[in-house]
Amino acid sequence: MTTKNQELASWVSSVAELTKPESVVWCDGSEQEYQRLIDLMLEEGTLSPLNSETHPNCYLHLSDPQDVARVEHLTYICTDDPEAVGDNNNWLAVDDAKQKMHALYDGCMQGRTMYIIPYCMGPVDSPYSRCGVEITDSPYVVVNMKLMTRMGARALARIEREGTFVKGLHSTGELDPERRFIMHFPEELSIMSYGSGYGGNALLGKKCHALRIASWQARDEGWLAEHMLILGLESPEGETHYIAAAFPSACGKTNLAMLIPPEKYKDWKIWTLGDDIAWLHKGEDGQLRAINPEAGYFGVVPGTNAKTNRNAYDMIQQNTIFTNVAQTDDGEPWWEDKKVGEPSVDWKGNDYTPGNGPAAHPNSRFTVSAKENRAYSSLAEAPDGVPISAIIFGGRRRELAPLVYQAKSWEHGVLIGAGVASETTAAATGEVGVVRRDPMAMKPFCGYNFADYWAHWLSFAERLENPPKIFHVNWFRQDAEGRFLWPGFGENLRVLRWIIERCKGTVDAQETAIGYLPLEDGVDIADLNIDPAVWRALISIDDDQWRQEMDEFGDYLDSFGERLPVALRAQHQMVKAALT
């Protein structure tokens, strides 16, 4: 397989000349190619088979111990204007970045195979999708991109029809942390990554393309690229509403995307269209419509068990690539809080010794096709996406934020999204309650200045005839002893139901300074045995706490200077005034 696109052919030739690979392979995305590369890695020892009876077609990859996560401090947005990039990103001048990367790439693929991966983010025949080509020297990257994207011949055919694509060049290099960089060039739609084999740094279709480059592209083209799950909520009457939701890490994003209804709501259904990224466009009907640009899941494994996320747990029992988990004596994958089995070999490949650190790396991962999820919706391949009724933002707050509240307008909803924050836990930092602001859950992923990003969000008030309603949820309210006030997990469906009823206008709410909250009987909690005083705490606000929050959030907004949108400042002042 080669290409008729002269720009692509020329780029491939120039990369081969620079990196000097032993051979060049164009990837077609076929099952035969996937298995051939699996066999190659098994032979080389970079992949290990897992128990074929309990976990058919599952494999384990162990990373270099110094290459196990995204490296945000080594991730750059490269433009000529640092102000356009903003303080929410690391900036480097284009010429300096290219000079640095070209020196690293010089001869880096000698003795290796160079793989060319044409891929499509989103359904191949959707006008909302965008294509890219990743060049890599890692067969591990190829097989993961096969699971995570629509990759191969059909993607290449679309590239040849349209003539535009994101160029991504990746080499594992020497896996030296001192020679590791991830560079983004949004003005020319290109990415350069060197020195890492880890997913977020090496699978360039994921965070690099689908968020950092796409957010810039979306601003220029009039759409939104967001760190959001997409789910469908189907009532017993067969009515389905679609929700997009953004949460910082450790706030239950994947669990919500794959929620299993509780017994009382067993006639309801949740359809998972995506657990991580949503591309949102104005449809021909004037509604905001969403596609999931990805075709698979690259999820964190620890904490996943039959209780916390049954759908995720079941889908990774077959046809899955695990990265940096432990193994049991009989070759099954193991991780902390799995609740089944005992580890014998840790994530570094050594005999496991209790008390000598976790058996599986805390950021260990699974890669699996979305079609393995029993809640998979075929509308994940719908060219026109799905209409979004509600957008939800969420964070982890012990006290401040109520269980759920609704924005008073689209502009107010943008303020709520900009204010997304989570409090650290003692397990994470040794200090409880440190507020980390993560606007729209996009802090590591927005490819340009947050002030301009909020202005782009605000513009949709005029673009959309029927914009989605915007909400905020907080599953993590606690009492003085640290006990959670809300049961969470499947019971969150009760809150989703209230959200949909608010979108339909079939349930009333109480107006407060921060937005609309449920009435005491607004959410069905009759069988949950929640103390009435606890329930009132979950659906009320403390004005003093919120005044302090608005003061601190105001200081954060001030840090963006004159670039901050006037409309966002006005919304902040309105909330402050209502609190006094």
Residue 86 is assigned to a ligand binding site: no
Of 52, 135, 389, 384, residue with least CA distance to 241: 389
Q: What CA–CA distance (Å, rounded) separates 80 from 92?
A: 8
Residue 131 assigned ligand-binding role? no
3-state SS, residue 379: helix
Q: Is 227 annotated as a binding residue?
A: yes
CA 277 to chain CA mean position, Å: 5
Q: Is 463 annotated as a binding residue?
A: no
**Using DSSP, how many helices (H) and how many strands (E) does the chain show?**
18, 29
Report whether 45 belongs to an annotated binding site.
no
The CA–CA distances, whole Å, from 408 to 60, 180, 316, 421, 511 equal 48, 45, 41, 20, 9
Output Rg (C-alpha) for the chain, integer angstroms.
24
What gap in Å lies between CA 307 and CA 339, rounded to an integer?
9
According to the annotation, is 199 in a ligand binding site? yes
253 is in an annotated binding site: yes
350 annotated to bind ligand: no
Measured between alpha carbons, how far is 348 from 352 in angstroms, rounded to an integer? 9
Q: Is 200 annotated as ligand-binding?
A: yes
Asked whether residue 250 is marked as a ligand-binding residue, the answer is yes
**Contact call for residues 333 and 70 (beta carbons, < 8 A):** no
Q: Is 349 annotated in some ligand binding site?
A: no
276 assigned to a ligand binding site: yes
Catalytic residue among 78, 108, 208, 251: 251
396 is in an annotated binding site: yes
Is 251 a catalytic site residue?
A: yes
On whether 90 is known to bind a ligand per the annotation, the reply is no
Is residue 207 part of an annotated ligand binding site?
A: yes
Handedness of CA 544, 568, 439, 487 (dihedral sign): positive
β-strand 190-194 against 166-171: which pairing, if any? parallel
Measured CA distances, 321 to 84, 118, 299, 419, 475 (Å): 38, 21, 11, 36, 31
d(CA 513, CA 520): 18
Helix (H), strand (E) at residue 415: helix 410-418
- Listing DSSP states for 95-115 in one string gives HHHHHHHHHHHTTTTTTSEEE
In contact, 413 and 470? CB cutoff 8 Å: yes
List strand residue ranges (DSSP E) for 71-223, in order: 75-78, 90-92, 113-121, 130-136, 150-151, 166-171, 181-185, 190-194
* Whether 75 contacts 338, CB under 8 Å: no
Q: How many Å from the N-terminal Cα to the C-terminal Cα in the chain?
A: 67
**What residues pair up with 229 in beta bridges, in sequence order?**
245
Say if CB 322 and CB 58 are below 8 A apart: yes
Q: Are the C-beta atoms of residues 575 and 514 closer than 8 Å to each other?
A: yes
Residue 357 region by backbone torsions, left for phi larger than 0, else alpha for psi between -120 and 50, else beta: left
User: Do residues 333 and 58 lie in contact, with contact meaning Cβ atoms separated by under 8 Å?
Assistant: yes
**Catalytic site positions:** 251
Residues of each annotated binding site for GTP: 250-255, 365, 396, 489-492
Residues of each annotated binding site for Mn(2+): 207, 227, 276
Residues of each annotated binding site: 70, 198-200, 207, 227, 249-255, 276, 363-365, 396, 489-492
Residues of each annotated binding site for substrate: 70, 198-200, 249, 363-365
